[in-house]
Structure 1
Amino acid sequence: MQQVKSGDTVKVHYHGKLTDGTTFDSSEGREPLEFEVGAGMMIPGFDSGVLGMIVGEKKTISIPAEEAYGPVQDEMLMEFPIDRFPPDMKPEVGMTLNMSNGQGQQFPVVIAEVKEDAVILDANHPLAGKELIFDIEMVEIAGGSSLIIMP
């Protein structure tokens, strides 16, 4: 049986959870996720987690934060003057906002703290600093000239 190796294009069904069991993403009800193994399309721990799998195989992998979205970075926390918010907006902890950088690119931030004259915005990835657990089912492996599809 063909095993997944770097450079293969694979299709997987997955269920992503946090260590407390909270689901953060799943392919349930959707087409399987397709990606090229080792091409940098996935977080490193997911990429390496599918290596050696065969079609039809199911497994659970735990990915430490360092092999997922990295640790929480303090430099991604920024203080923003509260008077720069629209007057009709009441900033609240947990609220997601979009900011733009000097090049016009938009990126999401979450309000981490509301002070009297400023808010602390967190631009870390929402899954930064978290261990991720994935239940994976290998559906298809396309490598070289062969294609294997699960019946």
Structure 2
Amino acid sequence: MMPVLINDNSEVVFHFSIKLSDGSAADSSKVHNKPAKLVMGDGSLTANFEKCLLGLKAGDNKSFALEPEDAFGMPNPDNIYHLDRTKFGAETPAQVGAIIAFTQPDGSELPGIIREVAGESVTVDFNHPLSGQKLTFDVEIIEVKNSEATIS
């Protein structure tokens, strides 16, 4: 039986590790032993990330580097807000480097990183922490399912 290769319609279960350009680990699905799952083309990953997975099969390991545009994008200046220091309290002090979850009007939470505290103004960055960085991804393919009907 032929191994199932990742194609444009595959459902893929895989472990990943993300490394920064200095080689330090930024994230890994192996830490909590919870592999990622995606359906190719569902928009959860960039097209160039998906291209790097095409043709792989269960058991394959691959390492590839992605430019910021193909990973978490470039930081968007519109995602940086200046909030009044009175919005912060004892439980969520305004400290540079702190990551705070802000509740959105729809009830969902969005993490923001405090970049600067100046007088009564607190600068909060809602860009993804890895945006703007060239990253290396190590993937280990665990399972590949293709949705095409089998021809008997």
TM-score w.r.t. length of structure 2: 0.83
Q: 1:145 to 1:93 in 2, by over 3 A?
A: same
The Cα shift of 1:111 comes to 0.5
Q: Which of 74, 77, 80 matches 2:77?
A: 74
1:52 corresponds to 2:39:
no
Q: Please, which of 107, 110, 115 is the counterpart of residue 112 of structure 1?
A: 115
Q: Percent identity?
A: 27
* Counterpart-to-counterpart distance in 1, 2:57 and 2:40: 14
SS in 2 for 1:48: helix
Q: Secondary structure at the match of 1:69?
A: coil
2:103 is matched with 100
SS, match of residue 106 in structure 2: coil
* Change beyond 3 A, Cα 1:82–1:9: same
- How do 1:1-151 and structure 2 match up within 5 A? 1-28=3-30, 30-86=33-89, 90-143=93-146, 144-145=148-149
Residue type of the alignment partner of 1:111: I
Structure 1 position 112, deviation (Å): 0.3
Residue 42 of structure 2: SS of its match in structure 1? coil
> Which whole-Å CA distance do the structure 2 matches of 1:28 and 1:124 have between them?
25
Measured on the aligned residues, the alpha-carbon RMSD in Å equals 2.1
Quote the Cα distance in structure 2 between the aligned partners of 1:24 and 1:126.
Answer: 10
AA at the equivalent of 1:114: V
Partners of 1:133 and 1:45 in 2: how far apart?
Answer: 13
SS at match of 2:78: helix
Instruction: Label 1:13 to 1:94 Cα distance change in 2 as closer, same or farther (>3 A).
Output: same
Q: How far off is 1:126 after superposition?
A: 1.1
In structure 2, runs of 5+ residues without a counterpart are: none
TM-score (norm 1): 0.83
**Structure 2 equivalent of residue 149 of structure 1:** none
Shift of 1:76: 0.9
Equivalent position amino acid for 1:61 in 2: F
Contact preservation (8 Å) 2:13, 2:141: yes
SS of equivalent residue, structure 1 residue 54: coil
